[in-house]
Structure 1
């Protein structure tokens, strides 16, 4: 659902702004400010002064908090119009709902008000800011405003601007020049220490001597232990019951294959556990070492049996056991071992499809202090990821979206339907 909120004066006799913006001209490019009327003699901050005066008056200032609710339109053009914050929604079709009363009866000092943080992203999980992936989308106005509010709050309080925000401003579709802001101009870039490949002597020793053995010997040793029992059973039936070996070997292969697949699931939860979206781990940490061991075991299990089942319900069930969110009963289809690199980071809705040899990377090395970051990949209803396509963390294939074969979807890219 899309939701708009509004504060209406408690006194219904007081008029209110409809919210519709009526352009009166083009803003001056050098300042971006609307010039004052020639006959305007009131102080620049007269509205702030008037509000503070009314707050200090008996009874303070009272508002009614209202919401407008509308379903998310399926049509992209209608959805974009609905997200245009300069155009009010039809109150007859989407009436305002009174939620509660807000009373303000005390003014803060200038220092206290400057320390306040207005951040729309501090919210309950049921509500979110509607994101935009391009400045051409209507949602980009509110999305950008929510980010700029937080940046300006840092500047007002003289706090260093995080490097990530500097990069955001520099790489934004719409260039933002903060050189005219004294606080922004005075900010110095944080020095980034190159610790990406830094590791202790014992981590180096482990990576050189122990890790290669664990990634080669241990997986084969585990598979050997697992298939020993069914192999021994097959040989027993051959010797005692005189069953033909060519009938017993297929049974042995399928049985042992299912057993090693289940062992891979158990190993995944023991060695790796469940990663969370947005979680970061150090490159040389124990968690990464354990993950590489499991990846080696998963590769061996795939070569032994599971890759032959890709595209079947059995393969999808195997991924679900390892944490994937796949709607198997709704026709979701996975035909690639590359989708199981980080199974808990994969979500495929009804009718979603992942083609042969596609790679779904649920993790990425960002180089920030030598960390690996995890991000979820979502394939919407009827979405398609083509053969040998490469998908990075945070990618969303929207409903009906199509990522062509051999394509690359960059981190947090949105694949739209055409």
Structure 2
């Protein structure tokens, strides 16, 4: 594998990331629960030699959110089906540390890792919930505070990773002559006892060919960064400009040494929503098509989920955004703080907010000709603002197909993206080593 190689992940969300994508003539509104469509998307990304096909999650209905997340599959089950329809590309899914039990989650993702032959990834989240509805689905009266969620997550991931090491790689001997199914000295009980969890173990499934599923995180807060520096192997980010992205990149990478880790043990992927056309004008025509399908107040309801669930309907679209009163949020704090800072610094109107924060055109250069988009990606990559990209295509499958056909060959020609897969597991694709079994290490000490 080329060491200095861009990493690419495809964010699969039915008809696309744009809030009005489901209304486009090319879309199938039920794409989020059409397994054939979703499998086709994963296959297109695999054709483009992507590292990962990724599926996000939410655990409650917010009627003001993106329509495609109101009706969708459980992501862990979905990525199992995506794995069955592909051969090489990694498959990753979000699962919450706040509303799951470690044993169940460890077993689920270990199962997907076996079914996919070592291509699974777990996006570990503490669950952002602006409305507080999620807690009510899990017999709780309120959503836990941010730092409380991260404190629990610190224990949660230690339990999960410990359970994944229950069996040493050669524990199962399947020796018919001797009547030995497994070597009893090579299975280990976790015996974990902490503030939040008491888990005996062992897990009732062997280690996979890649050892453990790849760990993904997206937290940019101080507790989130610390947890990522200790445990994550991929981090998703979404910064407003290249300079902020560089600052985050350098800051997070600098924290790895504290935990005895090298910089190449963690890959940072910046989220973008590219639209390409044969000409720059054609690309913007595609963008404007989507914008025309968008109800301005419905789009603001989507923004509200990131801004403390503000009722934008009581403001006219030409109201200066600085006049809006935003409460303290118990959701994605880093994103809220960044959006609030932009509102304070720029002369934005309420009607500008969706396009400014979530539109494909934002303030970056990822809309234009294939060469323009590829050059901008190369700039962010070579200037160490990111190790690669989480591609959140506005309209699916159109924008994914265009990217694979038109942009990927340019990245390959530049020598910064693979011509073909050189290994079989997700760790192979990402250049990550197979984790040592910590029980084996302890026995050697």
TM-score, normalising length from structure 2?
Answer: 0.24
Higher RCO structure (Cα 8 Å, ≥6 apart): 2
TM-score, normalising length from structure 1?
Answer: 0.25
In terms of fraction of residues, the more strand-rich structure is 1
